[in-house]
């Protein structure tokens, strides 16, 4: 009984457990109106995107979901006669809002003869799939990143060789999506029509 009386006395004082809670509530006063929700980061334009990682032998192709959240490897196209037709067919099937093409630059940021070839290929692709825009994006480290991811996934060198180009295109496309999500602007450099070889 004494314990119960002591507990009641503590609760009835401003210093007891209940008193502390009541005091906190009284100090808060009226609740302020809820703030407007945080606008969050810039959004990615909706729509599917394709990316191409053009190599001397193969062209890796990746595709994003319609929300522009995730890039996944799609296929590999053999480089040479008919490669633009195959890419145009993939673009027609996917209905992308744009195609991202890799631009190989050196670590210093300079463009080499490979960058010139990539620009020429991107211009020819832009001419072929008009009105779908093509954008060039720096592709440094995409292939090495893809190799590392495939190696961690348990693929041996022979198995990696068959899919690394598509995986590199997925790395490129994911970088493009993340760039747009972070800045709110389309990534890379727009390829204009009529600048092909």
Classify residue 197: in a domain, yes or no.
no
> 90 and 185: one domain?
yes
Q: Has residue 1 been placed in a domain?
A: yes
Q: Burial level of 178, CB count in 10 A (0-12/13-18/19+)? A: middle
Residues 4 and 91 in one domain: no
Domain tally for the chain? Answer: 2
Same domain, 19 and 107: no
CA 171/CA 175 separation, integer angstroms: 6
- The answer to whether residue 42 is domain-embedded is no
CATH number, residue 73? 3.30.420.140
Dihedral angle sign, alpha carbons of residues 125, 128, 129, 135 = positive
| pLDDT recorded at residue 167 | 86
**Which residues, given as ranges, of the chain have pLDDT below 50?**
3-10, 13, 16-19, 21, 24-25, 194-197
Q: Residue 163's pLDDT is what?
A: 73
Pair 102, 140 in one domain: yes
Question: Is residue 163 assigned to a domain?
Answer: yes
Q: CB-side exposure of 186: number of CA atoms within 13 Å?
A: 15
Give residue 76's domain range: 49-190
| CB-based contact 91:129 (threshold 8 Å) | yes
- Residue 101 phi/psi, 5-degree rounding, is -115, 140
Asked if 160 and 147 touch (Cβ cutoff 8 Å), the reply is: yes
């Amino acid at each position: 009984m004494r314990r119960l009386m002591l507990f009641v006395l503590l609760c009835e004082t401003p210093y007891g457990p209940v008193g502390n809670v009541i005091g906190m509530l009284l100090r808060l006063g009226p609740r302020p109106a809820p703030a407007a929700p945080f606008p969050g980061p810039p959004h990615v334009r909706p729509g599917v995107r394709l990316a191409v990682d053009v190599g001397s032998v193969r062209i890796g192709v990746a595709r994003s979901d319609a929300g522009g959240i995730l890039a996944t490897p799609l296929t590999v196209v053999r480089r040479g006669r008919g490669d633009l037709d195959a890419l145009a067919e993939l673009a027609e099937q996917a209905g992308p809002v744009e195609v991202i093409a890799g631009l190989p630059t050196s670590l210093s940021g300079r463009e080499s003869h490979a960058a010139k070839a990539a620009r020429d290929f991107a211009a020819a692709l832009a001419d072929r799939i008009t009105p779908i825009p093509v954008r060039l994006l720096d592709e440094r480290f995409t292939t090495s990143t893809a190799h590392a991811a495939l190696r961690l996934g348990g693929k041996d060198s022979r198995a990696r060789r068959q899919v690394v180009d598509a995986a590199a295109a997925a790395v490129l496309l994911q970088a493009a999506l993340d760039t747009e999500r972070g800045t709110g602007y389309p990534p890379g450099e727009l390829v204009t029509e009529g600048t092909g070889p």
